[in-house]
């Protein structure tokens, strides 16, 4: 609220917040119609909003100390062809910039909410979700902006529809062909629960997390930045599509170990997978099975089994999907050596970002104390940076808070 007051010299009319997330297991399965098991975390993006005195929308990102002025929201297009004002300099909506995420959500809302098409908004964004760390700061921003703007306009939009609207904005404006998971958990998270999401049907089932006296989730930020829009994410998505064409299926959700063997490199089948296609498909098939098994183990309170599945997930992401990196591998290795840690794995798109661990409270305390120094001994980070390690908990999704 302070940032809004400083920028616009008045109080906002609505304030909304949306959380970041960590995915316990089920990585890169969402855009393959598979299963994921995320939790919303206690780091969030807060959005303050009011109607603008004119038809121009004024958006300020407090953490970046950056501002933009947007023309009429119903005139924004995903081809980045609209000139905008960025701190008095003429610029364009650059694909993948923070502006593209916020502008895309507002444009999509303006298309279905008449008051937003006719008026501009004054809006500030502030976030405690670390940027570029694989904790879905982008979806947190999108869902926060959408929740605040919908509340301002008096629009009633279901969390599922809100998540879909935000994902479409990320596809078209930010240029990231993401799945539904990040927006879904940001909109629909529940306190003390994970959310088992079937990304084909978009059905979601709450799965109770263990009590804090039994286990805690520890986030270990490598401080290595990644950019999903750089092409690695899209490349893997296309490889998965290519594997489906070879096997004659619509999605890797429909693949099985037997089908994978039938079309393996060197098999007698008329159509065979390349080694890379085979490895990518192998990860998706096994990861879907691990995710369903992990949800069942959580329901049964079998944390040792959950931890085993997390470690197997990381090994597959490292070896078959090849989205890990030395820094993430180090964090997982260091965590797994601590007594009381059930399991650990990278979380998020990969190529840097965060790893997570499921640990007893005592082991979680050790990770927070010991991981930064042990990590520093193996990896040189830019001056002033260190591994960021903290305990988080499963939280509620987006809400209007004032």
pLDDT digits (tens, 9 = 90+) for 45-74: 999 999 999 889 999 999 999 898 988 888
Catalytic residue among 122, 182, 221, 329, which? 182
Buried/exposed code over 144-163 (b: 16+ C-beta within 10 A; e: otherwise)? bbbbbbbbbbebebebeebb
Domain hosting residue 110, numbered range = 2-205
Residue 261 lies in a domain: no
**What CATH code is carried by the domain that includes residue 140?**
3.30.230.10
Residue 30 lies in a domain: yes
Q: What is the pTM of this model?
A: 0.91
CB neighbour list of residue 212: distance below 8 Å, 6 or more residues apart: 361, 393
pLDDT of 381 above 50: yes
pLDDT digits (tens, 9 = 90+) for 222-258: 998 755 546 788 899 999 999 999 999 999 999 999 9
Residue 299 lies in a domain: no
Residue 167 lies in a domain: yes
| Domains: count for the chain | 1
Question: Which pLDDT does position 87 carry in this prediction?
Answer: 47
pLDDT digits (tens, 9 = 90+) for 362-378: 999 999 999 999 999 99
Mean pLDDT confidence for 183-192? 97
Question: Which pLDDT does position 92 carry in this prediction?
Answer: 53
Residue 343 lies in a domain: no
Question: Which pLDDT does position 228 carry in this prediction?
Answer: 52
Find how far residue 218's CA is from the centre of its chain: 17
Confidence tier at 86 by pLDDT (50, 70, 90): very low
Annotation says 69 is catalytic = no
Kindly give the pairing relationship between strand 66-70 and strand 57-61. antiparallel
Residue 244 lies in a domain: no
Residue 262 lies in a domain: no
Q: Kindly state the percentage of the chain with pLDDT values over 70.
A: 94
Q: In what order do the strands lie in the sheet with 341-347?
A: 341-347, 354-359, 216-221, 388-392
Residue 295 lies in a domain: no
Question: Which pLDDT does position 93 carry in this prediction?
Answer: 63
pLDDT of 85 above 80: no
């Amino acid at each position: 609220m302070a940032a809004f007051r400083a920028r616009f010299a008045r109080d906002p009319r609505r304030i909304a917040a949306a959380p970041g997330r960590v995915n316990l297991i089920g990585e890169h399965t969402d855009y393959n119609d598979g299963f994921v098991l995320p939790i919303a975390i206690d780091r969030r993006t807060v959005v303050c909003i009011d109607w603008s005195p004119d038809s121009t929308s004024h958006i300020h990102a407090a953490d970046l100390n950056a501002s933009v002025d947007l023309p009429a929201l119903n005139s924004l297009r995903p081809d980045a062809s609209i000139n905008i004002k960025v701190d008095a300099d003429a610029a364009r909506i650059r694909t993948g910039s923070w502006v593209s995420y916020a502008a895309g959500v507002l444009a999509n809302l303006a298309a279905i909410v008449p008051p937003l098409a006719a008026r501009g908004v004054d809006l500030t964004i502030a976030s405690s979700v670390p940027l570029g760390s694989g904790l879905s700061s982008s979806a947190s921003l999108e869902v926060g902006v959408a929740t605040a703007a919908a509340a301002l306009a008096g629009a009633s939009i279901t969390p599922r529809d809100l998540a879909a609207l935000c994902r479409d904005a990320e596809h078209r404006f930010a240029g990231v062909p993401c799945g539904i998971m990040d927006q879904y958990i940001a909109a629909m998270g529940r306190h003390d629960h994970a959310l088992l999401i079937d990304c084909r049907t978009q059905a979601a089932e709450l799965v109770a997390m263990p009590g804090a006296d039994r286990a805690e989730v520890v986030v270990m930020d490598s401080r290595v930045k990644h950019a999903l829009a750089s092409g690695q994410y899209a490349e893997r998505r296309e490889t998965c599509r290519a594997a489906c064409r070879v096997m004659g299926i619509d999605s890797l959700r429909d693949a099985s170990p037997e089908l994978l063997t039938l079309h393996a490199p060197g098999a007698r089948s008329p159509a065979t997978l390349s080694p890379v296609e085979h490895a990518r498909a192998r990860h998706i098939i096994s990861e879907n099975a691990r995710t369903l098994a992990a949800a069942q183990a959580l329901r049964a309170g079998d944390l040792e089994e959950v931890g085993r599945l997390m470690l197997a997930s990381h090994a597959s992401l490292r070896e078959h999907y090849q989205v890990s990196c030395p820094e993430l591998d180090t964090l997982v290795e260091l965590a797994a050596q601590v007594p009381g840690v059930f399991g650990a794995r990278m979380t998020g798109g990969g190529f840097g970002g965060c790893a997570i661990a499921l640990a007893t409270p005592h082991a979680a305390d050790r990770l927070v104390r010991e991981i930064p120094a042990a990590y520093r001994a193996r990896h040189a980070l830019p001056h002033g940076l260190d591994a960021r390690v903290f305990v988080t908990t499963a939280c509620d999704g987006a809400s209007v808070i004032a």
